Amino acid sequence: MQLIQRLPAPQTAPLAATSPAWHRVWLRAEHFFSRQDARAHCWLWLRDECGIVRAWRMDAAALGRDDRIRELLQQFRATPNATYLGDPVLGRIWPLPNAPVVPMTRWAISWGQPVQGDIRAFADSLDQGILETLGALELAGTFLGSVANFNRLARLSPSTSRHRQQALRRFPPLLIPVLLDLPERPDMFGTELEEHAGHRHAPSPALLEAMDHGRDLIGALAQHYAVDRALIRSPLMAEPWPDGAVAPETLQLLQALPAHTRPRDLRCLPPRLALLAAAPIKSASRAARARLAPCFADGWDRVWRRLETEFSPLEARLRDCRDFLQAVLQQAEMPPPLAWFDVPMLGHVWAVRRGLKSLLAASRRWHAQALTPVSATLDGIADSVPALFGAWENAEGKAIELTTAEALREEGECMHHCVGGYWEQCLYSATRIVHLELLDGRAATAQFEFDGLDEANTLLLVQLRGRHNGDCDADMYAFAEDAVEMLNADTRRDARCAALADAAQQSARRRPDGPRHVRRLDARSRAEARMVLDFAMAQPTWQRRGGASYSGSVAGFVHAEGPRLLGVLRVGAELQLVREPHNPYDPLAVRIDWQGHKLGYVPRAANAPIAAALDQGLALAARIDAIDPNPHWREIRVDIGPAG
């Protein structure tokens, strides 16, 4: 039995049964997938008389039905936005705008098989210039060679198409998001969210005019993106970017830098943007990015090279700054107008006033301080929490739950990081710290926290650190994920409920005296903190008197639509806050949405003032403050405050 309905010889000959200028290729599921659920389908690629490509998925019984192609094409032309159509003979048909413009079979299909010849003949019938342009712009991690992208250029007149291809090759990161779609991956089933493959920026008439008629394209791009011409002419804008397009927040940061300080090597830019994202520094708004520009007055590359030399490994050291800044908030005397400051805001002000080097050096000094006991007035604070599992092991290693303040302190000293100061979180928030050790002796410390709005009271892995706060490898992350499954097993549900109940009881009788062990700020750090706060007090826009606010992670993010939207979420994106007074788990619940998609909730511990403000009709603004670049965390941070 043939696996494909072969085209009449020669392969590129027109189909008399359809149209004298059509070319098509039918494919069975076996050419793409080994999964059983795909076997019920077949696929059709068609190039019509105008050079436009269509790709469809349909029931396997439709294979080879050339007699229905004309009517099928007419139906989709009449309803171009249909997600699927029903045909009395072929059944349901799904259009595939994000499928590869030329079908790509599995590696197991030999090059000499007839199906490959049919595919090559189909490819030869397409506009080769467009295929080459899309291929030249595509890097690992991007997908541009889709049916929709090919058609966006094929529908134009030859002259206009040629001009736009030239513009795309000249300024790829700026024009790809204007002229092309950026789906996350090829879609062979018609099930991907269409809105996530759409244009990120609508092209202005002036920009199209400049491209199509050879006018001042640099000036048009500068006006479209609200940046200077020097940035448009930068070498960074002359080659494809790993993500296909330059993110708006990155472009705004580059614009804020003086032209002579901007990076010139694209290979070094993404890693250092990841470093900046790892720092606990608020940088979502255009104004915040502009304020950070003086930190790189000596040159973007030069500043990062110095920091990498002095504070290696730099990403871990930047993350360590979060605990130091939290200590500043707790130990420094905060002026009342700055009482709303959180860690990212304090980090932002510190970087603006003192620079990144000062922040990193102060953090390093603080982490070198010994944990010191607080006064004996804290007698009565519990020394232990209920165990969820105690000790556990599998074929990969063993896990030991740290359920006492002394065990936590010893872990911090042994692993040379600051987990010894986390007892307050364990006691009052039911945080659990676990020592992980693989069979070969590699060790790490894992931090688990409760989801917040989850009937099953599941735990999430929120932090995993090796010795000296070092990063962990894939083996350790895999073992940590095994521990997550163990912790969230149904058999431990009662233990999780007991842990939350104990934390609630401890919080109810919590004394306001503070933690039992702390790291004190040294005299130099206190003086620098005073300068930073005095600087903040001199800026009226940083003084806030009243109003609900929150800055932090999103509860339930990994269980909602968040993880599958990570590829399209952007720092600074506006979010919507939705009250759920009838939520069965929390009457103060505040849902966080992005463009109609649920991302999660404001954490239970912080939602009361937000809910009260929304119930009173007060206007609040919410936006994405940071997106963690580490794929193991899969989280975002949001900023919520009074609108305006």
pTM, entire model: 0.68
Return the exposure string of 188-218: e unless at least 16 CB atoms fall within 10 Å of the residue's CB, then b. bebebeeebbeebeebeeebbebbbeeeebb
Q: Are 98 and 181 in contact (CB under 8 A)?
A: yes
Using only the alpha carbons of the chain, give its radius of gyration.
Answer: 29
Structure-block tokens of residue 453: 């709005």
- The arithmetic mean of pLDDT across residues 195-221, rounded, is 79
Nearest to 294 by CA among 241, 340, 253: 253
Q: Is the pLDDT of residue 546 over 50?
A: no
Q: Which pLDDT tens digit goes with each residue over 382-432?
A: 888 999 999 999 989 999 999 998 899 899 888 888 788 888 888 888 889
Q: Is the pLDDT of residue 553 over 60?
A: yes
| pLDDT score for 452 | 59
H/E element, 225 = helix 217-225
Q: Residue 540: is its pLDDT beyond 60? A: yes
Q: What is the pLDDT of residues 362-389, one digit of tens each?
A: 999 999 988 877 653 344 578 889 999 9
pLDDT at site 96: 94
Query: In whole angstroms, how far apart are CA 567 and each of 139, 199, 233, 457, 623?
Result: 16, 14, 27, 28, 16
**pLDDT for residue 79 is more than 70:** yes
Name the pLDDT band for 126 (thresholds 50, 70, 90): very high
Cα–Cα distance between 96 and 98 in angstroms, integer?
A: 5
- pLDDT band for 2, please (50, 70, 90 cuts): very low
Q: Lowest-confidence range among 1-10, 289-298, 446-455? A: 1-10
- Evaluate if residue 242 carries a pLDDT over 90: no
pLDDT value for 302: 94
Does residue 640 contact residue 550 with C-beta atoms inside 8 Å? yes
Backbone φ and ψ for 252, nearest 5 degrees, come out as -65, -35
The tokens for 181 are 């779609």
CA distance 479 to 470: 17
pLDDT at residue number 13: 37
pLDDT value at position 379? 44
Q: How many CA atoms, within 13 angstroms, populate the side-chain half-sphere of residue 107?
A: 0
Cα distance between residue 512 and residue 514, in whole Å: 6
Indicate whether 5 pLDDT > 60. Answer: no
Q: What is the average pLDDT across 465-469?
A: 85
pLDDT digits (tens, 9 = 90+) for 164-188: 999 999 999 999 989 999 887 899 9
Of the CA atoms within 13 Å of residue 140, those in its CB half-sphere come to 0
Confidence band for 11, pLDDT divided at 50, 70 and 90: very low
Residue with tokens 């002229």: 179
Q: In the predicted model, what is the mean pLDDT of the chain?
A: 84
Residue 278 has pLDDT above 90, yes or no: no
**Residue 456 pLDDT greater than 80, yes or no:** no
Question: Where are the extended beta strands (E) located within 427-560?
Answer: 432-438, 443-450, 459-465, 517-518, 550-553
Rounded to the nearest 5 percent, the helix, strand and coil shares of the chain are 45, 15, 40
Is the pLDDT at 6 greater than 70, yes or no? no
Q: 3-class DSSP state for residue 434? A: strand
DSSP for 464-488 reads: EE-GGG----HHHHHHHHHHHHHHT
Has residue 563 got a pLDDT over 70?
A: yes
H helices of 44-197, in order, are: 69-78, 114-124, 128-137, 147-154, 158-170, 172-179
- Averaged pLDDT for residues 9-25: 54
Does the pLDDT of residue 105 top 90, yes or no?
no
Distance of alpha carbon 542 from alpha carbon 96, whole angstroms: 49
Whether 487 and 459 have beta carbons less than 8 Å apart is answered as yes
The pLDDT assigned to 594 comes to 92
